[in-house]
C-alpha cells in the first residue's frame, strides 16, 4: 500500500471518482451521500491537501483530508472514504489489524508538522460508534485520549451530526461539548 497526494492522484481523476462513487449508490454511504455533491465545490478551498491510499495494483482504497478547526487545532481523517470492497463488515473488540486510515494518518501528521499544532483530533458521528473510535485510539498509542463528552464539530448546534465522538492528542479541543446523557436526551429522547 502507498499513500499519494492530490497532486499525484490528479484533480480530474478525483472528481471522476467522486461522481462514480455517488452513482454506485452504495447502501453504506447513505449517511454522507451529500458529500459527493459538496466536495467538488470545496475540495480546494476548505482543505489544504488530500491523501489517497493505493493498493499494490494502484487501485484506490481510501481518501481523506485534514481540516484546520481553529489555529493550532487540526481534524485528521476528515471526509474519509474507504471504498466498499476494502471495508471490514465486523470490527472485533480486540482489533489489531492496520486499517487503511492508519497509513493516511501518518502522512497527514507528517504534512502538518510544518505548522504550529497544539491538537490533532479525529471525530466520528453517532454514539453507537464510540467503542470503535476508542479501539482506534488504542491502536494510535497512549498519547491519544477519548473526550468524555460529545463535541460540536459544525455550526448547526441542533443537528445530530454536528455532535461527535472525539479522540485527540495534545491539548483537549476547545469547542462546545455536551455530556453523553444530554446528547441522548436531545437526540434519542
Look at the block and give the residue holding cell 489489531.
Answer: 96
Mean pLDDT to the nearest integer, 72-91: 84
More confident residue, 88 or 170: 170
Answer whether 85's CB lies under 8 Å from 71's CB: no
What is residue 171's predicted lDDT score, i.e. its pLDDT?
Answer: 95
Q: Grade residue 44 by pLDDT with cuts at 50, 70 and 90.
A: confident
Rounded to the nearest 10 degrees, the angle between the axes of helix 35-42 and helix 11-24 is 170
Q: Is 91 helix (H, G, I), strand (E, B) or coil?
A: coil
User: What whole-number distance in Å separates Cα of residue 90 and Cα of residue 86?
Assistant: 12
Instruction: Give the DSSP H/E element, type plus range, for residue 152.
Output: strand 150-152
Count CA atoms within 13 Å of residue 67 on its CB side. Answer: 16
What is residue 91's predicted lDDT score, i.e. its pLDDT?
Answer: 59
What's the mean pLDDT when you consider all of the chain? Answer: 88
- Phi, psi for residue 64 in degrees, rounded to 5: -165, 165
Q: Grade residue 39 by pLDDT with cuts at 50, 70 and 90.
A: confident
| 159 pLDDT higher than 70 | yes
Answer whether 109's CB lies under 8 Å from 66's CB: no
Q: Grade residue 95 by pLDDT with cuts at 50, 70 and 90.
A: low
Amino acid at each position: 500500500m502507498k499513500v499519494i497526494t492530490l497532486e499525484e492522484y490528479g484533480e480530474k481523476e478525483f472528481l471522476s471518482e467522486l461522481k462514480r462513487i455517488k452513482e454506485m449508490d452504495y447502501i453504506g454511504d447513505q449517511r454522507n451521500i451529500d458529500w459527493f455533491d459538496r466536495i467538488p465545490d470545496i475540495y480546494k478551498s476548505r482543505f489544504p491537501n488530500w491523501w489517497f491510499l493505493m493498493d499494490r495494483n494502484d487501485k484506490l482504497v481510501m481518501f481523506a483530508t485534514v481540516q484546520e478547526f481553529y489555529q493550532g487545532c487540526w481534524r485528521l481523517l476528515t471526509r474519509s472514504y474507504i471504498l466498499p470492497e476494502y471495508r471490514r463488515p465486523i470490527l472485533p473488540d480486540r482489533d489489531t489489524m492496520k486499517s487503511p486510515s492508519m497509513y493516511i494518518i501518518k502522512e497527514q501528521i507528517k504534512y502538518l508538522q510544518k505548522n504550529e499544532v497544539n491538537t490533532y483530533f479525529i471525530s466520528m458521528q453517532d454514539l453507537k460508534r464510540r467503542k470503535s473510535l476508542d479501539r482506534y485510539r488504542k491502536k494510535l498509542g497512549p498519547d491519544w485520549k477519548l473526550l468524555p463528552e460529545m463535541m460540536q464539530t459544525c455550526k448547526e448546534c441542533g443537528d445530530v451530526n454536528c455532535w461527535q465522538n472525539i479522540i485527540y492528542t495534545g491539548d483537549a479541543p476547545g469547542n462546545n461539548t455536551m455530556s453523553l446523557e444530554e446528547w441522548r436526551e436531545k437526540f434519542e429522547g
